[in-house]
Amino acid sequence: MNINALRGLAVSALLAISLTSCSGGGASSAEAEPSPVSESATPTEVPFKTYSRVELGKILESVRDSNDTRLLVMPDDRLKDALKQAKDIVSNSTVEPAACAEFVAGGGAQLEDGAVVSIGASPSSNAESVVLLTLVSGVSEDRVNELMAGRAANVKSCGASQATILGQSVEAVTSVLQTSAKTDGALAYKSSATAPGAGSQDQVVVMAAKGGVVLMGQSTGTAVADSDLPKLEAMLDQAADLIK
């Protein structure tokens, strides 16, 4: 079965596979503890800045999934290898309509030159559904704004597309989801990809940008449903609250 085509359509899936293959030993986790109660405060403008991978990792380690368990953070060596594979897949993809190429082939802030990336996964992730929270920094403010505006436009305009990824034909369908995320500017969508002989793969995504960090919560796999969105929104909002 050629699953590379489906992985390429959603680079997050490739990253997810890399993460789950090492989460048993290489990633760190903690037992569930009582979650701290956030103090309410008047919203203030958060300065745009660049975070290190260590700083992003610490944010992820403070986020809990829907089971109130801390996320597993991908080790640096695994992350570097996964991002390299993802870039190779994107560079070997063609998409119609061409305007949807970056969106459909799986590009984004995490593949930008100079991007600082950290990825956490829910310990409940399995082969059928991988739940991830990705944080990206190191991208210029203008570029972050451009990427977010482009993604919002793509979600609306790239409802159906055709792609050839690593020589494999793929059909993709994307639809907008209504999000209840509290983070300003959040957007959500669901994508489904089908490749002959490789089955299908879905992903539900919610993303936003705050203070120089692009945040993306996603559930990727063969057993993904719209009902996954609230738990992704909760993780994204937790991380966003820690960006001050």
Q: What are the counts of helices (DSSP H) followed by strands (DSSP E) for the chain?
A: 7, 9
Give the domain CATH number at 93: 3.40.1000
List, in sequence order, every residue forming a beta bridge with 99; answer none if it has no partner.
none
| C-alpha distances in Å from residue 45, one per residue of 39, 106, 124, 141, 212 | 17, 30, 35, 14, 12
Q: Residue 192 falls within a domain, yes or no?
A: yes
Q: Residue 43 falls within a domain, yes or no?
A: no
Q: Residue 37 falls within a domain, yes or no?
A: no
In this predicted structure, what is the pLDDT of residue 175? 92
Name the domain count of the chain.
1
Q: Residue 94 falls within a domain, yes or no?
A: yes
In this predicted structure, what is the pLDDT of residue 42? 43
Q: Residue 28 falls within a domain, yes or no?
A: no
In this predicted structure, what is the pLDDT of residue 44? 62
Q: Residue 31 falls within a domain, yes or no?
A: no
In this predicted structure, what is the pLDDT of residue 38? 37
In this predicted structure, what is the pLDDT of residue 67? 93
Q: Do residues 214 and 135 touch, judged by C-beta distance below 8 A?
A: yes
Domain membership of residue 53 as a residue range: 4-23+48-241
In this predicted structure, what is the pLDDT of residue 13? 47
Q: Residue 127 falls within a domain, yes or no?
A: yes
In this predicted structure, what is the pLDDT of residue 196? 80
Report the C-alpha gap between 93 and 108 in whole angstroms. Answer: 14
Which residues lie below 8 Å from residue 104, measured CB to CB, with a gap of 6+? 9, 93, 95, 158, 161, 163, 172
**Radius of gyration for the alpha carbons in the chain, expressed in angstroms and rounded:** 17
Report the C-alpha gap between 140 and 55 in whole angstroms. Answer: 18
Q: Residue 89 falls within a domain, yes or no?
A: yes
Nearest to 73 by CA among 87, 55, 97, 91: 55
Residue pLDDT tens, the chain, 244 long:
344 444 444 444 444 444 433 333 334 444 444 333 334 344 567 999 999 999 999 999 999 999 999 999 999 988 888 888 878 777 877 888 888 877 776 667 888 889 999 999 999 888 788 899 999 999 999 999 999 999 999 888 888 888 887 778 888 889 999 999 999 999 999 988 888 877 788 999 999 999 999 999 999 888 899 999 999 999 999 999 999 9
| C-alpha distances in Å from residue 9, one per residue of 47, 166, 176, 236 | 33, 10, 17, 22
Nearest to 179 by CA among 241, 228, 146: 228
Nearest to 147 by CA among 225, 211, 65, 214: 214
